[in-house]
Amino acid sequence: MSTTTIDPVTETHKEVHQIPSATVRFAGDSGDGMQLTGEQFTRTSALLGNDVSTFPDFPAEIRAPRGTLAGVSGFQVHFSSTDIYTPGDALDALVVMNPAALKTNLSDLRKGGILIANLDNFQKKDYEMAGYDANPLDSEVLEHTYQLFKVPMSKLVETALKGSPLTTKEKDRCKNFFALGLVYWLYGRDLAPTIRYVNEKFATKPDIIDANITALKAAWNCGETTDAFASSYKVGKAKLPPGTYKNISGNIAMAWGLMTAARQSGKDLFLGSYPITPASDILHELSKYKNYGVRTLQAEDEIAAICSAIGAAYGGHMAITTSSGPGIALKGEAIGLAIMLELPLLVINIQRGGPSTGLPTKTEQADLFQAIVGRNGESPMPVIAARSPADCFDVAQEAWRISTRFMTPVMVLSDGYIANGSEPWLIPDVTKLPKIEIKHPGPLESGEKFLPYRRDELLSRPWALPGTKGLMHRIGGLEKQDITGNVNYEPENHQHMTNTRAKKVENVATQIPLQEIEGPPTGDLLVLSWGGTYGACKTAVEECLEEGLAVAHCHLRWLNPFPRNLEKILRSYKKVLIPELNMGQLRTFIRAKYLIDAQGFNKVKGRPFAVQELVSEIRKQLGLGSNGQPARETTAVAELAGAADNGG
């Protein structure tokens, strides 16, 4: 379709260095298309057979003022020829489209790393907007600390698109494809997947297709022909287990996992939801699949969202509500109702920075207290947490299995980092996944009395569906008599029912796997983690094990109840370290339950843990010094960079 006159490019004639992995970040203005650029780089790398892990990081504003520090949007990709579990710590390459992006991202670039800057956006007004007194690209420190490439992207794009009928503004919008093409050359990536994407995405706009592909190829040629770029890098295929893979984000994996759970249990799915960042993509995704029997209701508010789901559960459907922390707070009373009604329901919380509106687009795992105890009265419910994007697929099914087996709402925790990040997913054969058995009581003849709160051996009650003859019964939020379900305020009964609801949730521990340990079964220190910090904790512990330290790693999937063997494991190590992106919530539960003096490593900066900060903390806990890694930045460079961890 393309009418470009630039020759298709395939192989470099320059020197190629083989490297095991690399971490690249694209950073620019919110309107610069950095998310798209990052996503394209990720897809291409995954299709080339790399393992990939991503970290999109963007502001809450749709379009913050141009060129400001607050408006910087970034997308980080870690791609590797080995298994990886994090989006990477220090950057090997950083692309900055303007001075604000340089300022907010430079501190993450490793010494000697590649820095590509769009020279055309470093005019006086641009760097002043970012708070620089002089053009930072003229700084000698920058030149000496990094491999700096000042590329006049806007001008090069304009030249390449001379014959294009697009307006100047439209042409300028192609510069993200130029940045992408340059990085493609740098890492020997194939242009074909992105060319395919552009052709599909802009199928009705041939001029845009031409322009984007021309910009992409022009950049590749720029890398190949400009003397500035002396050599490129190659990251080989990762040795992943055999099978067919797809690059998948956490929210899509969650949606597909829910659909699979519905299919495996013979149910149609109902989602009651209210739009909220970063959970809305699950609503969007599920809304597409009406032919799969998926019913979605965009409710008038968070409360209606969960209440409609409870109504659907009462009617016998697989019922779900999705939200983030502020929405979960609004749902609190209704979650209590579901606990009292003892109906199956999945309450999915894609956590974000809090409290209140907090940091809508930034990640945090500070809703664990809310999940486990955030309701009035004694109101226990099982809580499960996903550890990575692809893991959401499995967690959704596991949560529904427990929810239906025990007739209880289950809280499913994910977070913004998992939800928006992506990784390769080994596509399962659905026909080989385990079925989820659900029984409903059948009709009763007249004279027999139906007892809605008569329980089975695990204390689960029957799921009786309206429309079934002879099973008419009344349930509600008032305390009820055991077995009959009739309203009952007697002191002994309330104590008994409270104990029963608690014991039922404890019984979940008998139906979940025992906790596994990565590393030796005893030792000096155990790292205990949950949720989205899995990859960083796993990688940090692996690094320490390679160094010969006596450490191990346990990652919890179920936060309530804990696995039956957890206490024994915790007592097998001299120290327990619990890193969390909150101020110590799991640690509080662990200390309270087991009276173990677990140590915390906590931060809430809207960003995931870096592996190296965890390694340093582990060493510190073990009384060892620094591992000799040089500090990432010199004082001189620090002047050019904003404060570390300032997001952007």
Partner 1 sequence: MSTAPAALTPADFASDQDIRWCPGCGDYAILQVMKKVLPQMGVPRENTVFISGIGCSSRFPYYMNTYGVHSIHGRAPAMATGLKSVRPDLQVWVITGDGDALSIGGNHFLHCIRRNVDLKIILFNNRIYGLTKGQYSPTSPLGKVTKSTPYGAIDNPLSPTSVAIGCEATFVARSIDVNVKHLGETLKRAAEHKGTAFVEVYQNCNVFNDGAWDYATDKNTKFDTVIELEHGKPLIFGKNKDKGIRLNGTEPEIVELGKGVNPDDLLFHDEKSPEPTHAYLLSRMRHPEFPEPIGVFRDVDSPKYDLELNHQIEVARSKRGPGDLNALFNSGETWTVA
Residue ranges in contact with partner 1 by CB under 8 A: 43, 46-47, 49, 193, 237, 239-247, 256, 259-260, 263, 268, 270, 272, 289-293, 295, 297, 299-301, 303-304, 307-312, 314-317, 319, 333-334, 337, 341, 427-431, 466-478, 486-487
Q: From the CB of 121, what's the least distance to partner 1, in Å?
A: 32
Q: From the CB of 267, what's the least distance to partner 1, in Å?
A: 10
State which amino acid sits at residue 608: P
Q: From the CB of 445, what's the least distance to partner 1, in Å?
A: 12
Q: Which is nearer to partner 1, 465 or 514 (CB)?
A: 465
Q: Which is nearer to partner 1, 273 or 616 (CB)?
A: 273
Cβ–Cβ under 8 Å, residues 340 and 494 = no
Q: From the CB of 298, what's the least distance to partner 1, in Å?
A: 10
CA distance 447 to 449: 6
Torsion (CA) 628, 635, 107, 643 in degrees, nearest 10: 120
Q: From the CB of 253, what's the least distance to partner 1, in Å?
A: 10
CA distance 396 to 414: 10
Distance of CA 276 to the CA centre of its chain: 15
Q: Which is nearer to partner 1, 171 or 317 (CB)?
A: 317
- 8: DSSP letter: P
Q: Which is nearer to partner 1, 209 or 271 (CB)?
A: 271
Q: From the CB of 561, what's the least distance to partner 1, in Å?
A: 26
* Sequence-ordered list of residues with C-beta below 8 angstroms from that of 13, at least 6 positions apart, any chain: 224
Q: Which is nearer to partner 1, 168 or 431 (CB)?
A: 431
Burial class (CB in 10 A: 0-12, 13-18, 19+), 612: middle
Q: Which is nearer to partner 1, 112 or 434 (CB)?
A: 434
Q: From the CB of 10, what's the least distance to partner 1, in Å?
A: 19
State which amino acid sits at residue 102: L
User: Which residue, 331, 347, 323, 477, is CA-closest to 412?
Assistant: 347
Q: From the CB of 145, what's the least distance to partner 1, in Å?
A: 37
Task: Mark out the alpha helices in 64-205 (DSSP H runs).
Answer: 99-105, 124-129, 140-145, 153-160, 168-172, 175-186, 192-201
Residue indicated by tokens 């013979």:
266
3-state secondary structure of 588: helix
Question: In DSSP terms, which residues pair with 542 in a beta bridge?
Answer: none
How many C-beta atoms lie closer than 10 Å to residue 585's C-beta?
Answer: 23
Q: Which two tokens stand for residue 445?
A: 């003849």
3-state secondary structure of 355: coil
CA distance 219 to 449: 77
User: Which residue, 377, 369, 328, is CA-closest to 348?
Assistant: 328
Q: From the CB of 202, what's the least distance to partner 1, in Å?
A: 17
Burial class (CB in 10 A: 0-12, 13-18, 19+), 153: buried
Burial class (CB in 10 A: 0-12, 13-18, 19+), 233: middle
Q: From the CB of 496, what's the least distance to partner 1, in Å?
A: 20
Q: Which is nearer to partner 1, 104 or 264 (CB)?
A: 264
3-state secondary structure 37-77: HHHHHHHHHHHCCCEEEEEEECCCCCCCCCCCHHHEEEEEE
CA distance 92 to 304: 47
Q: From the CB of 149, what's the least distance to partner 1, in Å?
A: 30
Q: Which is nearer to partner 1, 42 or 145 (CB)?
A: 42
Q: Which is nearer to partner 1, 8 or 428 (CB)?
A: 428
Q: From the CB of 573, what's the least distance to partner 1, in Å?
A: 36
Q: Which is nearer to partner 1, 196 or 568 (CB)?
A: 196
User: Which residue, 54, 32, 34, is CA-closest to 43?
Assistant: 54
Q: Which is nearer to partner 1, 107 or 260 (CB)?
A: 260
Q: Which is nearer to partner 1, 486 or 565 (CB)?
A: 486
